[in-house]
Structure 1
Amino acid sequence: MEEAAAPISMIDCPYCAEPINPKSKKCKHCGEILDPQMREIELLKSQRNSPQVFMNAGGGAAAAAASGIGSLRRFPHWFHILLTIISGALWLPVYILMYLFRNKRYYY
């Protein structure tokens, strides 16, 4: 009589908590890579394929203004007042918030 193979004990995926084979390199449920070396390779691939762009609150122009390139601009009050009038005062809270949280190094 043939002996049945011992059942494989399962572990829980650390990302989705579904049962998986302990030898798995990738979760079949959520798709997360479990093998640390394979995970590092995928991270390096994704960093190589996507450009590293860092933006501050004022965008690239604010960085240029802070470094002395170009000059400071006035806060565009006329534009926000026009939007407030056109939208029937619906733009007013946005205008107030944008004025209060403006980049003071870029807009004065």
Structure 2
Amino acid sequence: MNASVRDAVMLCAIDKKRKLIHFEGGFRPLLYDLQTGPLELVDLEARTDHAEIIADKYHKLFTWTRRQSQRTTRSEAQLVELQTKSGRRGIVLGGTMGMTPHLN
């Protein structure tokens, strides 16, 4: 994706039923139904009947992120340095057995 450190930030709002993943770089969010699809292979974000659920998750997410304890204590340069040291560790989407995630 070649995203900058600021654009690569992801935040999740999760409950027992659903999971919303927000991306800071202007990428669209992902929404998963954890009861019917616990492997998170089907993205429900594009369906218009989920607009209220997405709005509720964003409200909860932004309330949580505004807490004082959520402030970043590292500079962007420090985050870039940490990123370059990590190598290929972490989550790689679509890198397993030729599978690609279903993001519609």
Same fold (TM over 0.5): no
When normalised by structure 1's length, the TM-score is 0.22
Q: Which has the higher strand share?
A: 2
**Structure with max Cα Rg:** 1
When normalised by structure 2's length, the TM-score is 0.23
Q: Which has the higher helix share?
A: 1
